[in-house]
Amino acid sequence: MNIQVPDHISSIKRYQPGKTIPQLQEEFGWEKVAILWNNENTLGYSPKSKEAVIKAYDTINYYPDPISEDLREKLSKKIERPKEEIILGNGSESVLMLTIRALCSGDDEFLTSGGSFVIVYNWARINNVRCVSMPLTEGYGFDLEAIKSRINRNTKVIYLANVNNPTGTMISKAELEDFMQNVPDHILVIVDEAYFEFSESLHEDFPNSLKMNYSNLLTLRTFSKAYGIAGVRLGYAVGHEKIIESIAKTKLTFEPTALAQAAGLGALEDTDFLAKTIENNTKGLKYFSTELTRLGIQFVPSYGNFIMTAWKDQKEVDKIFNGLMKKGVLVRPLAGSLEHCIRVSVGRPEENQHFIHSLENV
């Protein structure tokens, strides 16, 4: 093949999925299974979301609403922001990629932290934008002072994950306010609040960036976590109307799908399911903290729907990961600067117990 692939694409390592759940089930013959590796909502999804999708299925011979009018209207009322400041996409990571595509070019730099959401670095590279990552703090949080000190004339976008995935650490309201006041207003600050519904219930000082009045702030949120519809891919961004308009120019015409839009509308209707999800997560994190402390295992207090444990080295991580897999417990070993860590999602009570009992045995 003689076609030359650009260096910024050829240098990226393609995502390599592991074995499927059925393949692993056949290999290990599990009696119990706890799928705790992707921060999904193992309680399931709202029945109202399912009903809305079934109803919408009769319309799939037509293209979906390209501007998601009904869903934007409903979100507008919920978050108390004009619908013109809202854009939806195939998951919040899609909207993030579109934002980089819309705003960055030439020598522009994308500034963030190491040890964060792994796809972020790839989206910058895919768009041929230089990604600059500052180290995490000793407590595994974003080092906002280091990020501020690295701002230069090429800095175009700053990405902050609050809470940070995979470490579970948070940026407080005071810290975020101070950061925004010290960032030049020609630099866009993206605050990824994928776990917001969990986070605001776990800490009274957790900031709602939608309530902050900065024209250079863009908030990302998703339906994949608390709302339990990760499989249909639906997320959104909220920000200044001119930023949203620019992102819209780069979006696929009919993104997100009709079924995704319907699923989102149904999910927003079901406050009972959301409340059960949040309660399950709060209890699950408390259980993890108690049991990991009892076992003498180091962990980082989390404000998401997962918890990160720290081990001696990657060799020990591999031993724990493989031992747990044999018992039907699937967790996420981390890479890069966090290769000595394992992330565990909060599941249903019986899944959480299966994890702890298996971990103790391993």
φ/ψ region of 298 (left if φ > 0, alpha if ψ in -120 to 50, else beta) reads beta
* pLDDT at residue 48, rounded to an integer: 98
* pLDDT at residue 167, rounded to an integer: 98
pLDDT bucket at 21, cuts 50 / 70 / 90: confident
The pLDDT tens digits of the residues spanning 85-98 come to 999 999 999 999 99
14/55: higher pLDDT: 55
CA quadruple 186, 190, 196, 200: dihedral positive or negative?
negative
Q: Which of 315, 309, 350 is nearest to 329 (CA)?
A: 350
Average pLDDT estimate for 296-316 = 98
The pLDDT tens digits of the residues spanning 257-288 come to 999 999 999 999 999 999 999 999 999 999 99
How far apart are the C-alpha atoms of 219 and 247, rounded to whole Å? 13
Beta-carbon count within 10 A of 51 CB: 14
The pLDDT tens digits of the residues spanning 193-216 come to 999 999 999 999 999 999 999 999
CA dist 80 → 31, 73, 200, 264 (Å)? 47, 10, 17, 17
Buried-state track 12-43, b at ≥16 Cβ within 10 A, e below 16: eeeeeeeeeeeebeeeeebeebbbbbebbbbb
* pLDDT at residue 35, rounded to an integer: 95
* pLDDT at residue 8, rounded to an integer: 85
How far apart are the C-alpha atoms of 43 and 318, rounded to whole Å? 28
Fold for 47-270, please state it: Aspartate Aminotransferase; domain 2 (3.40.640)
Dig out the tokens for 166 from the structure.
């995979």
Q: Is the pLDDT of residue 17 over 80?
A: no
Q: Is the pLDDT of residue 10 over 90?
A: no
Mean of all residue pLDDT scores within the chain = 96
* pLDDT at residue 95, rounded to an integer: 97
* pLDDT at residue 15, rounded to an integer: 74
Radius of gyration of the chain from its Cα atoms, rounded to whole angstroms: 21
* pLDDT at residue 355, rounded to an integer: 98
pLDDT bucket at 182, cuts 50 / 70 / 90: very high
How far apart are the C-alpha atoms of 201 and 282, rounded to whole Å? 8
* pLDDT at residue 164, rounded to an integer: 98
Average pLDDT estimate for 113-132 = 93
Cα dihedral 206, 161, 15, 126 in deg (nearest 10): 150
How far apart are the C-alpha atoms of 265 and 255, rounded to whole Å? 15
The pLDDT tens digits of the residues spanning 211-259 come to 999 999 999 999 999 999 999 999 999 999 999 999 999 999 999 999 9
* pLDDT at residue 194, rounded to an integer: 98
Average pLDDT estimate for 80-84 = 98
Average pLDDT estimate for 325-341 = 95
Dig out the tokens for 157 from the structure.
């976008």
pLDDT bucket at 16, cuts 50 / 70 / 90: confident
Long-range contacts of 271-278 (CB under 8 A, 24+ apart): 273/43, 273/45, 273/46, 273/47, 273/48, 273/228, 274/46, 274/197, 274/226, 274/227, 276/43, 277/41, 277/43, 277/197, 277/226, 277/227, 277/228, 278/197, 278/198, 278/201, 278/226
Q: State how far Cα 91 lies from the chain centre.
A: 9
CATH code of 16-39+272-361, in short, is 3.90.1150.10
CA dist 272 → 202, 226, 269, 279 (Å)? 18, 12, 9, 11
How far apart are the C-alpha atoms of 192 and 190, rounded to whole Å? 6
Q: Is the pLDDT of residue 299 over 80?
A: yes
Three-state SS for 92? Answer: helix
pLDDT bucket at 12, cuts 50 / 70 / 90: confident
Domain spans in the chain, listed from the N-terminal domain onward: 16-39+272-361, 47-270
Q: Is the pLDDT of residue 1 over 90?
A: no
Average pLDDT estimate for 106-133 = 94
Q: What percent of the chain has pLDDT over 70?
A: 100
